[in-house]
Amino acid sequence: MSFVYNDVYLADENETLLSKWTCIACVSGRGKDDDDSSDPVYLPPLQKPLKICITFDFGVAAPLLEQLLLERIRAGLTQCGVFWSDMGYDVQIRTASHGIDIRLECRVFGVMKVRALLEQPLAHASHAAHHVSVASVDALHIACLFAGVDSAGSSAVLRHCNEYLVSLFLSQLEFQFPLVFSKWSRSRFSQQQRSLGPVSYALTGSTELIPQLIKIISRDTTATACYQVTRLASHANLRERLQKSKKRMEPYQIVGYAR
């Protein structure tokens, strides 16, 4: 199964560089009886990396220029590798034919953990609690078409890449797949995972409630960047301290580029 997101069009301030972005998220693991209204707990794939494949069409017939642009995009992504590390992934970024391949190895969910906290409790759960299902996000396929690119415009290309990826995460992925793409949701799970079993046993005398508790964590919309920004904007004292601090907060960034 796949989720297709709306096309996004970007332009620079002079509208001399235009780009069109499309994205498809590939998921697996939904049961045959699941319909579009069901809301599984989405996790990264087990025993294999989560793939993000970004293909580019720069609209140029110069292979050397294309390779130069791809290498600069790869370097920009690598520069912001802490973005993936903070989310709980080991990341590998490499150039490919006409694109960039990102491989994410999850450090938060492993086979034994998923089996103990989700698969086994669901297998022994009563019918009433069995509506929790588990699915995995296997890959993101992103395609970009540029118009008006030259070697001097590589910084604008990087800005477009960052702008699209940031908007994709903030407006779509963090809400739809929080335990995969929200560092706050994944962090909260890591902090609370040891208490899931005791809470379930205290309330039901079994592990039956654990999947429901994980689903509650995944549905917490305060564990998103949008909420954190809103929270910051509502605290004048915190904003003032950050402005005076020598260690300024960097903008939300996935692709590094020269300002």
> Does position 259 have pLDDT exceeding 60, yes or no?
no
Report if residue 253 sits inside a domain: no
Pick from 165, 133, 129, 135: which is nearest to 255 by CA?
A: 165
Q: Find tokens 């697996």 and name the residue.
A: 28
Report if residue 258 sits inside a domain: no
pLDDT digits (tens, 9 = 90+) for 195-204: 998 998 898 8
pLDDT digits (tens, 9 = 90+) for 73-122: 999 999 988 999 999 999 999 999 889 999 999 999 999 999 999 988 88
Task: Give the per-residue pLDDT at 127.
Answer: 56
Between 191 and 59, residue with greater pLDDT: 191
Q: How many CA atoms lie within 13 A of 217 on its CB side?
A: 25
Q: What is the residue range of 39's domain?
A: 2-244
Rounded to two decimals, the pTM is 0.85
- pLDDT above 70 coverage of the chain, percent: 83
Report if residue 252 sits inside a domain: no
Task: Give the per-residue pLDDT at 249.
Answer: 43
Q: What is the mean pLDDT of residues 144-149?
A: 85
Q: Which residues are CB-contacts of 238 (< 8 A; sequence separation ≥ 6)?
A: 232
| Length, in residues, of the chain | 259
Between 212 and 30, residue with greater pLDDT: 212
Total domains present in the chain? 1
Between 45 and 257, residue with greater pLDDT: 45
Q: Can you give 139-170 as a three-state secondary structure string?
A: EEEEEEEEECCCHHHHHHHHHHHHHHHHHHHH
